[in-house]
Structure 1
Amino acid sequence: MSDSSTESAKPSISPEALAQIRVFQQGEVTEAEIYRRIAARTKDARNRDALSRISQEESYHAKRWQHYTDEEMRPEKRKVLFHTAIARIFGFTFAVKLMENGENNAKDAYEKLAVEVPEAMEIRADEIEHEQALLEMLDEERLSYVGSMVLGMNDAMVEMTGTLAGLTLAMQNTRLIALSGLITGIAATLSMASSEYLSSKSEGRSDALKSASYTGVAYLITVALLILPYLLFDEAHYLWALATMIVIVLLILVAFNYYLSVAQGLPFKKRFGQMAGISLGVAALSFVIGIAVKQFLGVDI
């Protein structure tokens, strides 16, 4: 488009609309750089190609907004560093979908801008059509083993919250509880990992060892986090350790289910409620059993 036609279009745009266009342009420029960096660190050729194409789409949209602002913007360094760090820690699928969820919240802003700039809805539709199609092409290995991670983490929480809650009232000593819990947890980790390996092997899966590894690692990490309060509090503060352990259980559930809700589009509240209800229910029942054992059997440690 010629400079004269660009100049003639500008007076019809209000300062508020122009400010919103700048926000959109800045977002596209920043996201293009984020996708470019994530793509550069992705080993799988198919995923790298999809991420690179999304980066190109974002750059194209930024150019369309630049037509209105006549400004050349640079990526926001903090956002680039934040999202690339998230991609390294939690995987590129989580980082990308977290970023795209933020874009979905801008629907109202696009509709409001379209009153003055009809092209806004065209850009919005283009993003949804092309970028979503490219996002569907992403296939990250770690998400293929989410079922194995859920199995390990959920079993660890159900078994260890119950075990530690029961031991808390039976032993009333944080060091003895931690020792017993650690021995139980390590044995249970080996048992769970080997069971997952044999189960996967019997199904003829070639990735049985990798699946078992994800299950075992998830189980062991969960065990370590749940036992940690009993190592931090002194021997007499076993109830404080128990309360802290329950808080850690809830935090693990919040973090993991949020990860799944973003990365796989699964419902957060329903899954969180189910897993929290089971884990805390078992812990409460085991707590009562611990009281009963101590009371009726006369065990005093």
Structure 2
Amino acid sequence: MSDTTAYSKKTMRVLLYLQQGELTEHQIYSFLASRVKDEQNSSVLRRIAGEELGHAKIWQKLTEKEVKTNRIKFWFYSLMALILGYTFVLKKMEKGEDKATKAYRSLITEVPQAKQISEDEDRHEQQLLAMLDEERLQYVGSMVLGLSDALVELSGTLAGLTFALQNTRLIALSGLITGISATLSMASSEYLSAKNSGDKNAVKSSMYTGIAYLFTVTFMVLPYLLLESYAVALGIMLVVVIIIIMFFTYYTSVAKDLPFGKRFFEMALISLSVAAISFVIGILVKRFLGIDI
């Protein structure tokens, strides 16, 4: 009698699920390894891929069946890696292993070796992931600088201009001029700061700062370019601010293993507080100066 006949149907389904998961992750890691230019990172990814394939073969011996890769999962994570970076995706995959962990636990009674395999996999993959050194993560500080400065400065500027001008086209024009000028100024300041600190990659630091700033400016000004109502544009702009803060905070919290909640609320509170103060200033300036556009 084969070993597979000793397993219940539920256990067999779990084994096949784990087998497919390991095979799919092997394909994802292999794909990323072929795309990464840095040889050290590529080597780490190939090692992880090899371990995943080894785990898949262990499960295959128990199930005595072949499974196919989960193509949807493969393409989804591969695309996300190309957009957000492979370190983010790999750590996201590791953080989303709750279902697999429960599956391992459910197997221990019938498949005793499942506990050891699970522990080995967690230990090995965490060690390997810690070895990854993705370039964009080295410049997260520069991106945070550009992003946070743009959010605080421009949200305040646009909020103040909204009531002072009450014309979406004029607000958008003023916002773009201010935003582009501030982008160049911020990138230049980051370059000089990094250069004076002896950073050999001062140009890259300034580029990441400038790109983050310009990206933020574009999305914050966009509502004023598309809408006629300045009040609605202001509301959407503030929603955009929250979304940008949420997205980037989540990205850095996953990629760099940082807490999400505190950092998100702190940044959101600062940006919205500055916007509110600037909005009041815009009202006061318009009223006391008697300017009517």
Aligned to 2:277: 285
Counterparts of 2:276 and 2:164, CA distance in 1: 14
Q: Deviation digits for residues 177-233 of structure 1, max 9, x if unmatched?
A: 001111111111111111111111110111111101100110011001100000000
Cα drift, residue 74 of structure 1: 2.0
Residue 253 of structure 2 is aligned to residue 261 of structure 1 = yes
Q: State which of 217, 220, 225 in structure 1 corresponds to 2:219.
A: 225
Residue 252 of structure 2 is aligned to residue 252 of structure 1 = no
Q: 2:18, 2:100 within 8 Å by CA — same for their partners in 1?
A: no
Counterparts of 2:5 and 2:36, CA distance in 1: 45
Q: Which runs of 5+ in 2 are unaligned?
A: none
Aligned to 1:180: 174
Residue 86 of structure 2 is aligned to residue 92 of structure 1 = yes
Q: 2:34, 2:42 within 8 Å by CA — same for their partners in 1?
A: yes
Equivalent residue letter for 1:178: A
**SS in structure 2 at match of 1:106:** helix
Counterparts of 2:156 and 2:4, CA distance in 1: 67
Counterparts of 1:46 and 1:103, CA distance in 2: 25
Cα drift, residue 110 of structure 1: 1.4
Equivalent residue letter for 1:64: I
Equivalent residue letter for 2:255: A
Q: Deviation digits for residues 125-175 of structure 1, max 9, x if unmatched?
A: 110121111111110000000000000000000000000000000000000
Percent identity between matched residues is 57
Aligned to 1:273: 265
Aligned to 2:138: 144
Counterparts of 1:203 and 1:147, CA distance in 2: 15
Q: CA RMSD in A?
A: 1.0
Cα drift, residue 68 of structure 1: 1.6
Aligned to 1:25: 19
Residue 235 of structure 2 is aligned to residue 243 of structure 1 = yes
Residue 179 of structure 2 is aligned to residue 193 of structure 1 = no
Q: Which runs of 5+ in 1 are unaligned?
A: none
Aligned residues: 293
Equivalent residue letter for 1:288: V
Detail structure 1 runs of 4+ shifted over 4 Å in the superposition: none
Q: 2:27, 2:74 within 8 Å by CA — same for their partners in 1?
A: yes
Q: Deviation digits for residues 42-99 of structure 1, max 9, x if unmatched?
A: 1101000000010010000001111121111121111111111111111110111111
Counterparts of 2:108 and 2:276, CA distance in 1: 55
Counterparts of 1:103 and 1:49, CA distance in 2: 23
Cα drift, residue 12 of structure 1: 3.4
Match runs of 1:200-219 below 5 Å: 200-219=194-213
Aligned to 1:10: 4
Residue 100 of structure 2 is aligned to residue 106 of structure 1 = yes
Equivalent residue letter for 1:259: Y
**SS in structure 2 at match of 1:51:** helix
Residue 141 of structure 2 is aligned to residue 153 of structure 1 = no
Q: Deviation digits for residues 205-263 of structure 1, max 9, x if unmatched?
A: 111111011001100110011000000002xx000000000010011111111111111
Counterparts of 1:18 and 1:197, CA distance in 2: 58
Q: 2:161, 2:171 within 8 Å by CA — same for their partners in 1?
A: yes
Equivalent residue letter for 1:185: G
**Kindly tell me: are residues 104 and 138 of structure 1, through their superposed partners in 2, closer, same or farther at Cα, counting changes over 3 Å?**
farther
Equivalent residue letter for 1:257: T
